[in-house]
Structure 1
């Protein structure tokens, strides 16, 4: 067994957290030999709910849990944090525009960023889930300047998992049969670019397995609007698929992706023509709590169109950053 790490979950009384917490406690996120001090943060009215959640987790008798703390104060919950999972954000409501969501969430992530900078360990890793995730992550990191930018990540693993699953369904195979990179680039929005042109199915090029029109015209839009389609079908946003993607992202980042390429929205560094200053989803490989951005050889027949899509997503992120008063 390793020494315990302190894991903070914000929005801990919410539906996604309810799907995540047992898996964290079971070792699915940080490994089966990693003890955890769990710190649950939510707003004051949710504290009674947190008390009930703690009782349930205690009743599960998870051997990896050292202790469980609850709070409505970010500076208390985030003190000495090793990992912070930022689920809490102002929710999208009917009639709202994306700009409204940005403005509402700016205050939340500014406060949490200041708390991180003040009380968390300088080695803390931070995964932002609350939307708009890329720009919320930027706001958070800007207000926690003493923590390295590479320690922050916004979630695009759900889009990644959706892309792999949709490809497998169309190819008539399992997700295990999809090989080669399937990656999400850019913003977690309708401007994201989905790259799968170099993927294979049981050794065959993906273009030879799925029909041309699906791959060139239908596939990317299906991934882009999948979240909305789920809301339309069930009346509520993705919950357990989002929770699964969060666990996947944490596990691969902290434990390792075992050579697999995964999608992570990380601080841009100039790769793929994207200047520094935004959090941009790119292909990564992970090992021992660190990620490395992978330089893919983009299919030459698609490269010009692909680069134009990346720039479109980048410009959207710059616009969001300006609305959040970062630039």
Structure 2
């Protein structure tokens, strides 16, 4: 039996963590025959709740789970880990602006970056889920200089899943038939859900939908505002779907993408497609042997270029605001 993969989940007592730890323990991420050691981190007031989560993990009798470490100490949680799901953050609440989230959460991810730098394996793969995810991932990486920048990513897979589901519903097909929906840019209201290069059962989604006004209008708005719609309905932010997307993201990163398929990940921009460099920008990527590569050469029309510019501008503004918060806190 292989040695367990050490996996940290922060905010593990929260709503996303509650779904996420089960999915990881079930083998859905790293493989049904791959043992895992779960390192669960939360803040001191949440430890009684986290202990209850640990009881439930035990009661699930998951064959993949070899060990569960529950702690409020980042040095313990991040010790020699192979993968991290950074979920713990102040959740977005109804009426809250992204800048409010940014100021509160950037400090959390600065501290966690420093702890990862000191205690995690240098090969650790870090997925940031807590919002604003792209900029939190940027800050986390900045304060973990000994870990390669390509080992950090931000989650836009939830947006990709939302886009895929909306196309499937529009065409009355199984969601598994829809491939290669792209999320460009930020996990925010400026993101650009793009189906120009997507297929349904091997055919063009654009042609199958045959409604450019909807694709360029209501579809984009629906995906951009889906998180807010969930909050309005549940009075809580997306949890089950966010956990599923985090698992999808890490599973792709760990196991690779099928030939001819790509997925959306927030990764360090190298300026591809005219985007601003030095921000965490969501691109279509392929993954092989744990390494992601930005898909190159996709034709981008003027409409799409305009969308990429808007979301890139927001990411640059967020980056500058976040760095200012970090500097002020020193």
* TM-score band w.r.t. shorter chain: over 0.9
**Which residue does the alignment assign to 2:266?**
265
**Which residue does the alignment assign to 1:287?**
288
1:100-128 C-alpha deviation (Å, 9 max, x unpaired): 21111121111111101111111111000
Tell which deviates more after alignment, 146-155 or 92-101. 92-101
Alpha-carbon distance in 1 for matches of 2:61, 2:92:
36
**Which residue does the alignment assign to 1:197?**
196
SS of equivalent to 1:209: helix
C-alpha displacement of 1:97: 2.5
**Which residue does the alignment assign to 2:70?**
70
**Which residue does the alignment assign to 2:121?**
121
C-alpha displacement of 1:296: 4.5
Residues 1:204 and 1:120: Cα distance change in structure 2 (over 3 Å): closer
**Which residue does the alignment assign to 2:57?**
57
**Which residue does the alignment assign to 1:313?**
311
Q: 8 Å contact 1:258–1:287 — kept in the other structure? A: no
Q: 8 Å contact 2:94–2:232 — kept in the other structure? A: no
2:256 aligned with 1:250: no
SS of equivalent to 2:18: helix
Alpha-carbon distance in 1 for matches of 2:96, 2:225:
18
Q: CA RMSD in A?
A: 1.6
Gaps of 5+ in 1: none
**Which residue does the alignment assign to 2:168?**
168
**Which residue does the alignment assign to 2:151?**
151
SS of equivalent to 2:115: helix
**TM-score, normalized by length of structure 1?**
0.94
C-alpha displacement of 1:95: 5.1
SS of equivalent to 2:323: coil
SS of equivalent to 2:311: helix
* Count of aligned pairs between the two proteins: 323
Residues 1:224 and 1:33: Cα distance change in structure 2 (over 3 Å): same
2:191 aligned with 1:182: no
Alpha-carbon distance in 1 for matches of 2:321, 2:41:
27
Tell which deviates more after alignment, 311-320 or 269-278. 269-278
Alpha-carbon distance in 1 for matches of 2:202, 2:269:
32
Alpha-carbon distance in 2 for matches of 1:80, 1:202:
43
SS of equivalent to 2:13: coil
C-alpha displacement of 1:176: 2.2
